[in-house]
Chains A and B, each alone.
Chain A
């Protein structure tokens, strides 16, 4: 393994804490293998910083296999970097070239305040979920046979597709309006397409949208940037579904 690695210039957002003013700092890393993941490259940089007695860069990560939704990062102007259908932890350094300058920033939205460096507070998503992203049935002990309730294959597929949303926030980060509609619509759709979720569908969509607005996310203008940058390929169709469900629910809701 004697292949020559990449030398990169990194422009990284550093911010001491939530209240301090941050700025972009420049770092250099050398001999980065193209087989590394982006976060492994960040690990190399952090080791280098620690060895130099500097504060390492704080960034979110957990499973490092694209399913937990913890990693974020706005890399060279795009959420989760230049690749498609991947999270930052799945992004390979082979997407970059020797000598590149890479901008690394936190996902930006008023509803996602920076906690430190590249770590943002995404609890706004949790609060939206708490507002209605659940089914109020007791599932302990006496689980029903799965085939007792027939569900059209197409609906089941769409519900499962929506349920693959990992809540990373790339949709918000990519949207020019910092809108959370793709996320909320996926969480609405994964339940409303299935019979178990239909029971509370009206209240769910009304309450989740209300909470979404309260958190200070922007308004969707259908640019479609969210769908392109979503690591899980959540479809814009979900937003249309949420819009129509919301319309129906707000018209038919009893006083």
Chain B
């Protein structure tokens, strides 16, 4: 934790965990487009399984907070490393916009997470752990409540727009973050690194675009 390399490795490891989390989140959300029942049962499992709720959920919360906190800390430290700025600087000549603006794209994603917590996570925690209702049932809804609640989030056009916009920031963040994490943990190979970079670009475009598709699908289907 004390040295620059240890910090960047931890940043990468928390990033890997979040990449993995996001992928499974995407797969489950995408199932809502294919099958209402499939989405309901997957959601009920994720929401009530004790290993996931008590084992993995705390790791996820810690991972998100750590990635954010360390990101801000590193940014502040990096700003201090150059106290006098250049009068004339051409950062686009040697580095991509995504790589230079990770703090901003990251903070935008965090802002979205604020909305997501308000919308989804806090009500979930309240229903399950404060009210003690683990049944997944909802008055007036057949089966479990998850699909119904998901659809309900995509009625308001502004919320859908905000949702889509935040995934643009996520995509920009991942376009640098995915391959950067491999470099940070010390993996570079002239055969595999080009593949990792392509895979990273694919992930950074397909997953956020998929989330946008899910949002638009449910919005349009309820018009």
* Interface residues in chain A, defined as those with a beta carbon under 8 Å from any beta carbon in chain B: 11, 13, 24, 74, 76-78, 82, 103, 105, 108-111, 174, 176-179, 181, 209-210, 212-213, 216-225, 228-229, 236-237, 239-247, 250
Contacts and interface: CB of A to CB of B under 8 A. Distances in A.
| 10 nearest A-B residue pairs (beta carbon) | A244-B186, A77-B90, A218-B81, A240-B188, A103-B88, A243-B186, A177-B78, A228-B94, A223-B95, A178-B81
B173 interface: no
A225 B78 CA distance: 15
A209 B4 contact: yes
Contacts of B6: 250
A176 B95 contact: yes
Contact of B183 (A178, A219, A243): A243
Contacts of A223: 94-96, 99-100, 176
Contact of A221 (B3, B90, B180): B180
Contact of B74 (A105, A219, A247): A219
B183 A236 contact: yes
B89 A247 contact: no
Most buried by B among A109, A179, A217, A220: A220
A241 B100 CA distance: 23
Interface string B71-102: 00010011011111111111101111001101
Contact of A219 (B7, B86, B94, B187): B7
Contact of B185 (A111, A178, A247): A247
Nearest to B91: A176
B5 A224 contact: no
